[in-house]
Chain A
């Protein structure tokens, strides 16, 4: 179906502010008399605070207030503390201090005397699982979603059975299976089996998460950096300890999140608490790059083992996967669940067993990072598919295509419960990509030598769930005929806040020039929206905006019928007018309808609101009441299945066997994201997601000193994201562009799998250039390539993590 706005490029309204420097990020706000906050982080990976002596610091001129762990409320077990008396990673905040300026705060911080008693620590999950291994937190080493905080130790026998380089497989809190896995392995034509490691890596958003706050007239005002505006607000209020109505929250721009700023977080709370202690005086916590590393989360690492069984046609008949997740010091994210789910949908195994154990370590807290679990699954498992393809003599695209969900996903199954999906076109994405990339011809050059360089090819797929339901939409037609689209989704930089707002304009047939997006803070009367994470916006927010615009449309038709006679059904919307279908002379402009709505009051002007909307939306409707025609609705449309975002990546590289350096010659990413809403925005996501994926595959990783537990990859240059020179000047993209039936205009999200398919494709290409060498480790760094090319042993043990 052809749309006026959907599927067309446009200029998102925040772009001018971004290129002129007028965009205000959290650290850019100023208030008179703003005090500076500095935080004292733990110098040890695990310690008990014995005493804190603030006397010298508090006597220093310009020091305004201090906060110690006893002053602030503490989270439940394995929660992320605001300030901690048992710091469990280097850099964890212990004391905060506010002073007239940052220098004075820093000086005062240096004068604080903290006595710490070192506690046992661990940076390797498997070490913690050993019979006498250290616990990262007092009282336990295992926790997770639906997993109680507990101590788990595997037996010496578990470790002995695995041998020195094998993955011990002791008791786990997460286990599920479907089909007869053992029988399927017995009948398999080819079985491949490997252990693997996936490193943790920092989010390292360009904007460190500064925050500022003040209190005025009983309300707390917070400027924070988050991917989500409406969704972050209640949680932030809860952490501060006030009702959502008492919190004014502004988050207009977010300087990069990638999951690390998905919602509210403890560091964002500190200025509000400090300001409260200072009688409401504004206070800013400016966060340094190192502090961003300590407190900005990271992708969870894994140690794992996988065994895949195929029949001779290449169909995956059995999968058995066991993963140990590195949580860092908090409950963190359930990457482990997502590993199993991703395998189940991308490869559609006929039988599968999945086991997982999330383990605490004294490394920085882990949060969701772009494709949390799903992208690690791609990096860990896709190379095994290549190994099987080689043994079976099947083309590497073909073996993926044989197993991929396609044809809309009618036979596709998802997760432990093998539930349905709303749409899936991965098979089509692989086919389109193979054709556009000319895979079958080009990949014949695999292994071709040119001096010290070898040509390599890779293909891989990835998944993330891509949509939610049940949130609210809110639009307002003002008497000047403008459509105000209120969106609380957040501004991560994908521009989906804008492309999904266009759904409302599309439904009402509005010219985009006459639309205003109201966003950026709770002062904008926001509806209750889901956050901008989890590749969900293009589905979730299309639905909410569709619902709100449909409500506005119905009200427009009703008003016209009231004013001009007849029934609502007798009218249609055309060029921002309500026009009688049978008589074009009978019409009313949207502007006049908005004026009439104000006169009519009730539901038309927001004096009344639907009962099923969220209190946040209800408050926003009340705030707008009487100012125009209000379209407001909860998204009650059916959502009966998991919404999958799927993507496939194709890559060509030259690998230099002497230097270990690779050059990406060409990359193509293909998305199954339903109907393409904003081609340029999608292109940007596919390309930039790939670039982030290349870093994930080959350079980015956490490194800790095993002796002292101190991190050694804090700075950007150590971490190390890709630069202009590491990637091709141009990357290719394509989309299947077929609708998801449960999205009103057919769109669904895509942001995450476009990274995972690229990183896994690059890993596969490096292996391909080396004749199928299995690294079983992400990232594959230069020295590993040199060792492999020279036939030398690697300098790390197969399951070693965090210190390679």
Chain B
């Protein structure tokens, strides 16, 4: 009876033997010896990064699935200071690096999501000087003089949620939650500009944020509820 409910499970087409035929580490010269995680590599790296002498190689990019576009990432990274969530953060940034990548991979602010990497979905929305922008389509160097607020900087430092966050909880805004950081940031930015919006104004302001789950109705109710408290 349960068979009716089984998903498409590609694993049924496989046997259980080891998936790679060559299971010993490849001994070629390109592979450096790998040390287990519990060693002090983290502390070593932190020390180097703090001293500012490391040339980090955090170049991360999205490319199409068929042939990668070659981005010129060999251009020199520069150590810059970013004002993120009220703190000054030093980070190495390549000339072609987007803000989303700097945040996620340079500063480990993983709350900013990358859903499309081409300004279609809004999951990467952050505020630059209070204005909601797509961080996936903004070069970090271009906004280095602006004050950046990510989803991690929305709640108070004591953990008190922003009215938008609380309203999204009360109205059960998120479903899968992947678009939620962007929805929160856009709503916060919008209510700063327009604290007493109509539903249509809110809808328009939020329209750059896709939600594949389709939770628009609940998010909108959240925005309107939050507008009573900001």
The chain A residues found within 8 Å of chain B, CB to CB, are: 11-12, 14-25, 28, 30-33, 36, 38-43, 58-59, 62-65, 67, 70-73, 75-76, 78-80, 82, 90-91, 93, 100-104, 106-107, 109-110, 204-208, 214, 216, 228, 235-236, 238-242, 253-259, 262-266, 269, 272-273, 276-282, 286, 288-291, 293-295, 297, 330-333, 341, 366-368, 465, 467-470, 492-495, 530-531, 533-534, 536, 639, 642, 680-681, 683-684, 687-692, 715-717, 721-725, 727-731
Contacts and interface: CB of A to CB of B under 8 A. Distances in A.
B226 to A, nearest CB: 11
B176 A680 contact: no
Contacts of A17: 177
B81 interface: no
A470 B14 contact: no
A103 B5 contact: no
Contact of A290 (B31, B35, B64): B64
24 contacts: A15-B168, A19-B169, A21-B109, A21-B150, A32-B41, A58-B28, A64-B30, A73-B15, A73-B19, A101-B57, A101-B58, A207-B115, A207-B178, A208-B115, A253-B177, A255-B113, A263-B11, A269-B19, A280-B34, A286-B60, A286-B62, A288-B65, A469-B1, A642-B1
Contacts of B220: 724, 729-730
Given A36-B60, A42-B66, A278 B204 contact: no
B217 A730 contact: yes
Contacts of B207: 723-725
A444 B36 CA distance: 72
A277 B2 CA distance: 37
B178 A717 contact: no
A282 B34 CA distance: 10
A279 B5 contact: no
A28 B110 contact: yes
A241 B18 contact: yes
B21 A71 contact: yes
Interface in B1-22: 1-2, 4-22
- For the complex of A and B, 5 pairs with smallest distance between CB atoms: A21-B111, A79-B13, A262-B7, A255-B178, A691-B214
B37 A31 contact: yes
Contact of B181 (A21, A236, A241, A493): A21
Interface stretch (B68-76, B127-135, B137-145): B68-76
B93 interface: no
Given A39-B65, A278-B26, A72 B20 contact: yes
Interface in B81-121: 108-113, 115-118, 120-121
A262 B11 CA distance: 12
B45 interface: yes
A691 B216 contact: yes
A526 B174 CA distance: 25
Contacts of B221: 730
A176 B10 CA distance: 27
B215 interface: yes
A586 B145 CA distance: 70
B200 A729 contact: yes
Interface string B173-214: 111111111001000000000000001100110110111111
Given A106-B70, A273-B19, A333-B7, A724 B206 contact: yes
A16 B216 contact: no
B7 A684 contact: no
B25 A101 contact: no
B63 A533 contact: no
Contacts of B23: 276-277
A696 B32 CA distance: 49
Nearest to A203: B212
B65 to A, nearest CB: 4
Q: Which of A82, A256, A492 has the most CB of B within 10 A?
A: A256
Interface of B: 1-2, 4-23, 25-26, 28, 30-37, 41-42, 45, 57-71, 73, 108-113, 115-118, 120-121, 123, 150-152, 154-155, 161, 165, 168-169, 172-181, 184, 199-200, 203-204, 206-207, 209-218, 220-221
A697 B57 CA distance: 46
A281 B34 CA distance: 6
B63 A106 contact: yes
Contacts of A265: 10
Given A73-B21, A102-B59, A691-B214, 9 more contacts: A22-B111, A32-B37, A241-B16, A253-B178, A259-B8, A494-B175, A495-B172, A722-B216, A725-B204
Contacts of A273: 19-20
A18 to B, nearest CB: 3
A238 B26 contact: no
A41 B212 contact: no
Contacts of B206: 724
B73 A235 contact: no
Nearest to B25: A279
A636 B15 CA distance: 30
A678 to B, nearest CB: 9
A467 B118 CA distance: 39
A772 B65 CA distance: 43
B161 A20 contact: yes
Contacts of A240: 18-19
The majority secondary structure among interface residues of chain A is loop
Contacts of B211: 206, 688
B210 A716 contact: yes
Nearest to A66: B26
Given A73-B17, A465-B4, A716 B68 contact: no
B67 A288 contact: no
A723 B66 CA distance: 28
A427 B50 CA distance: 68
Contacts of B178: 25, 205-207, 253, 255-256
B28 A263 contact: no
A160 to B, nearest CB: 35
Contacts of B210: 206, 716, 721, 723
B176 A289 contact: no
Given A103-B61, A722-B214, A79 B152 contact: no
Given A204-B212, A687-B217, A64 B31 contact: yes
Contacts of A494: 175
A273 B165 CA distance: 40
Contacts of B175: 256, 492-495, 684, 688
Contacts of A109: 67-68
B8 A297 contact: yes
Q: Which of B57, B172, B173 has the most CB of A within 10 A?
A: B172
Contacts of B28: 58
A717 B155 CA distance: 32
A468 B7 contact: no
A330 B11 CA distance: 12
B68 A206 contact: no
Contacts of B216: 688, 691, 722-724, 727, 729
Given A38-B63, A368-B7, A470-B2, A206 B212 contact: yes
Contacts of B34: 33, 278-281
Contacts of B19: 72-73, 82, 239-241, 269, 272-273
A757 to B, nearest CB: 14
A78 B20 CA distance: 20
B165 A19 contact: yes
Given A254-B176, A493-B175, A680-B172, A533 B213 contact: no
A594 to B, nearest CB: 31
A58 B181 contact: no
A79 B42 contact: no
Contacts of A15: 168-169, 172, 174
A228 B9 CA distance: 12
B198 to A, nearest CB: 10
B5 A41 contact: no
A73 B13 CA distance: 11
A81 B160 CA distance: 48
Contacts of A288: 62-65, 117
Contacts of A680: 172
A73 B23 CA distance: 12
